[in-house]
Amino acid sequence: MSNAMVSLQGVHKSFGDLQVLKGVDLEVRAGTVTVILGPSGSGKSTLLRSINHLEKVDKGLIRIDGRLVGYRRRGDKLHELREREILQQRSQVGFVFQNFNLFGHLTALQNVVEAPVSAQRRKRSAVEPFALELLERVGVGDKAHVYPRQLSGGQQQRVAIARALALRPKVLLFDEPTSALDPELVGEVLDVIKELARAGDTMVVVTHEIGFAREVADTVVFMDDGRIVESGPPAAVLDNPTHERTRSFISKVL
């Protein structure tokens, strides 16, 4: 609990009869990169989405920087927060989607500026130079006034990363950020994420890119069937998995 930026305790989640998360405990220290690996349907994305309350969990506690996500504790009762408060909390977490989900009717710059202005009530005139700087940083500075559909997939995802960064989030969550991209565009997006890791941002990344995990992750978490099977430094989990399930997954992916 001491310097955990994100902490999950006994998180359970079901969709109807399907149990997706069956008791997940996870700690992400500030300034570290955690990569979550695992087969499809193992609950990786659900776990990530529950961290910023896009999914409401059935049981268990999630904290960001020590504060409960989605609830307020009074005595021994947890009261659900109001929508406005949940939105407020979310603006401290950057989320990057697999399908980018850029706002199609807004230019790249407008996409980046929107949340700081409307969610954090910062002045547009102050946010715009910062937004341009961010677009520059992810390598699409010359595309500020272009609509998303006029950009390549890799460029769209980099704009989406700039949009997430614009909130100055405490944590960045990436949900398979390169899965919707052509193979030759994957590199440019991963480079941006590596750059952020070097700058010391706290990140949780769900991905299938083992090479990226090996190079960037401080912690690799392997999930299967709604549980964390094993976790540790990349060298341990990727090269010397102790669990049979991890071994067979990694041998298939590599």
Partner 1 sequence: MSITSLPSASTAADPPETVALQDSELTVVGRRHPWRWAGVAVVLVLLAMFVHGLITNPGWEWPTFFQFFTTRTIFSALGVTIRLTVYGTVLGFALGAVIASMRLSRSPFLQVVSWGYIWAFRSIPLIVQLLFWFNLAYLYQELSLGIPFGPEFVHFSTNNLFGPLGAAVLGLALHQAAYAAEIIRGGIISVDAGQLEAAAALGIPRLRQFFRIVLPQAMRSILPNAANEVISLFKGTSIVSVMAIPELFYQVQVIYGRNSRVVPLLMVATVWYIVLTTLLSIAQFYVERYFARGTTRELPPTPIQRVRRGWRALQLKARAA
Residues that bind partner 1 (CB under 8 A): 52, 54, 83-84, 87-93, 95, 97, 99, 101-107, 114-115, 118-120, 147-150, 163-164, 167
CA 237 to each of CA 29, 53, 221: distance values in angstroms, whole numbers, following the listed order: 18, 28, 8
Nearer to partner 1, 79 or 105 (CB): 105
Nearest approach, Cβ of residue 115 and partner 1 (Å) = 4
What is the token pair recorded at 109?
């710059």
Nearer to partner 1, 90 or 224 (CB): 90
* Tally of CA atoms within 13 A in the half-sphere of 224 that contains its CB: 12
Give the integer Cα–Cα distance in Å for 223 and 189.
24
Nearer to partner 1, 174 or 212 (CB): 174
CA-wise closest residue to 248 among 231, 217, 224: 224
Give the integer Cα–Cα distance in Å for 141 and 131.
9
Nearest approach, Cβ of residue 114 and partner 1 (Å) = 7
Nearest approach, Cβ of residue 224 and partner 1 (Å) = 26
Nearest approach, Cβ of residue 189 and partner 1 (Å) = 17
Nearer to partner 1, 206 or 213 (CB): 206
> For residue 133, which amino acid is it?
E
